[in-house]
Structure 1
């Protein structure tokens, strides 16, 4: 059975090179969605809607894609570099803990969150030499603030990188996110087994004219950039050159798409 991997984090679509005249022909097996739209402008509200069946204000967390994968016979893992916050679980961690194996690398203290590379190590330990079907979520810290403080974890930097400029640091974060996606891809490829990868950001960010120049698009800071996100599908069996599908897609329907992606049918899924 194929192995699946789903990384998540927060970033606006327009910041990625894939959506800025990049040559997609070299991305064999990659499919990019041109206009994916997040259901909310922050992680706490967005991720539960993406992972569960929902209808406007109603979210049915008992009909979520992790339970779907479990019942389909996949072995499920959730590795998070964000963690849960406070004494009571957030809506995200409640769903995450439905996975059969769960690691939260911190309790939600974003200031002390370490490198997302720890999730790559989790993935390697989980995937290498395992032949059964696996569904692995990597919930990265990604391009969350503080941008410049997190550049110490990056392997490479953009040209003319300025570690004291938030705008430069944010560009550096996106650049390293693209490297990260490629590293996940290489890890999966190294197994020699069929695999599928889905990458998406749970929300975007809004441009502002004061530091850090990118903020959550809540309240008066709402913008379309806050809900326009990257959505990428990678399939090892797809030998065609990378392509962009020019389509508007609402991430609140993701559970339906996911069931198709893993070839599973359920009465509650359209």
Structure 2
């Protein structure tokens, strides 16, 4: 009887040792770090899996834990801001230059790095665990095997039950799901880049049937990361856009971006889209070229290569192209958007016979906003970064004012459109380190300003009808008077008429009903 009791106590002490709690804590933190929703099932199942590996192959367990801990520690700040890996995450990794990478690393709160270091420290402790004498499996080990194996099948069975396909690789274990998501998303990005490269060198397929421009000069200003509710001219709480708030023109107060990140959003906005895929050879620049316009592209965004981003592939189709940044390490400088005005001034200095299309691509309010403003802000709102963000909007407003005056002084008739590629969402809301970052869960990630200023405008007009960036080519066709067989105008864009329902593309490349998204209100708390 005493021997049986002793064996029972020994078994329980082995099962409920401090290492069991340690592995459970480690599993929870790794789950949290990789950006997936919390799951008690997978935390317990992964703990059981680690226990089994320690009993059967301790060296393998140490190696895997070392790898898992390192990845989780490195990814933790990104996971809290952007969630688990997806197409957009990998696309950003491929298309982000050195300067943007540095800015991203400095925007995360300091304690995100502390938690990352803590996860790494747990991994070091796990790797340094001393080996124990080999023992045979007992009831606990067989129970752990059943639990960890059973948990592997939960997600595949759910997918099958919901009308999907049963695939073992669709397991919900965070570490394995992370690996699968990275590999799958990376393959999708490489496939899209290969398709883009092939189409970017192909002749466009536009069939222009009429060209009747109303103005001589057309200017498209593409903003960056500007939420509509951050602009006073579009209902924001701050008087930070004195030019846009007073100038005559058209102001669309319900314009919705196509996606939540630059490359995907503009890829869907500026190109003809067939079956959800941008046709990179058929974009608004090649359409203007085909119609006999002289085209210019001036950019303050990085150019990594000639055709390796959706925007670079469009820009290179213009007659004249200039990038303030080339994207290589030595050329990465925090250049100001205002430098683009020197280029436009040179264009306006010479009289030109053909109609003109000039495109300016700004850095605008791209995170980190305080890098855009050199730390300057007009009013403190919740955090320094939020305050800088609001002031970055003022800087863009000043640029638009100067560009507008250049156009007026040129002596030619003109029309200028300004819109932002996407909005942002608040992270660490309500804290002293509050900042804004890319997201796809909220309406504000897609609510952006859109305004059209023309030389013959007499009033400041508001258009409340909802418009989608997916219909930008329809707008461009109606605006410039360029009609093409490939563009079917379903409704007059510049009007108060109701348009079809708006769908946006999330970071997993899924079409989502804009009305079903949650809200991310811009709090007005000031110091």
TM-score (norm: length of structure 2): 0.47
Displacement after TM superposition at 1:87 (Å): 7.8
**Counterpart among 457, 460, 472 of residue 242 in structure 1:** 460
Contact 1:50 1:252 in 2 (8 A): yes
Structure 1: gaps spanning 5 or more residues: none
223-232 or 85-94: which moved more?
A: 85-94
Which of 65, 79, 82 is matched with 2:284 structurally? 65
Structure 1 position 169, deviation (Å):
0.7
- Displacement of 1:71 after TM fit? 1.2
Shift of the alpha carbon at 1:238?
2.3
Between 1:188-197 and 1:207-216, the stretch displaced more is: 207-216
Structure 1 counterpart SS, 2:401:
helix
Greater relative contact order, per chain length (Cα 8 Å cut-off, separation 6+)? 1
Query: 1:45, 1:56 → 2: CA distance?
Result: 15
Task: Give 1:38 shift.
Answer: 0.7
1:113 to 334, 355, 362: 334
Paired position in structure 1 for 2:348: 127
Trace 1:1-270 onto structure 2 (pairs within 5 A): 2-10=216-224, 11-20=226-235, 26-28=246-248, 30-55=249-274, 57-85=276-304, 89-108=308-327, 112-132=333-353, 133-152=355-374, 158=378, 160=379, 165-208=384-427, 209=429, 211=433, 213-218=435-440, 222-239=441-458, 241-270=459-488
Which is higher, the Rg of structure 1 or of structure 2? Answer: 2
Contact 2:272 2:279 in 1 (8 A): yes
Deviation at 1:177, TM superposition (A): 1.2
1:142 to 1:75, Cα distance in 2 relative to 1, 3 A? same
Q: CA deviation digits over 1:214-269, x for unaligned, max 9?
A: 11114xxx211111110001111222x11110111010110111011011111111
1:71-128 deviation digits (Å, cap 9, x = unpaired)? 1111101111112225862111011100010011113479623111111111111123
RMSD of aligned alpha carbons: 2.4
What is the CA–CA distance in structure 2 between the aligned matches of 1:75 and 1:185, rounded to whole Å? 20
Structure whose residues are more often helix by fraction: 2
Tell me if structure 2 keeps the 8 A contact 1:31–1:232. yes
How many residues matched?
261
Specify whether residues 56 and 229 from structure 1 end up closer, same or farther in structure 2 by C-alpha distance, changes over 3 A only: farther
Moved over 3 A (4+): 21-26, 108-111
**2 CA distance for matches of 1:212 and 1:192?**
46
Alignment check: 8 A CA contact 2:306 2:312 kept: no
Identify, as 1 or 2, the structure richer in strand.
1
Judging changes above 3 Å, is the alpha-carbon distance between structure 1 residues 17 and 56 closer, same or farther for their aligned structure 2 residues?
farther
Aligned equivalents of 1:76, 1:118: Cα separation in 2 = 19
TM-score norm. by structure 1 comes to: 0.89
> Aligned partners of 2:326 and 2:253: how far apart in 1?
34
**1:111 to 1:249, Cα distance in 2 relative to 1, 3 A:** same
| Partner Cα distance (1:227, 1:81) in 2 | 22
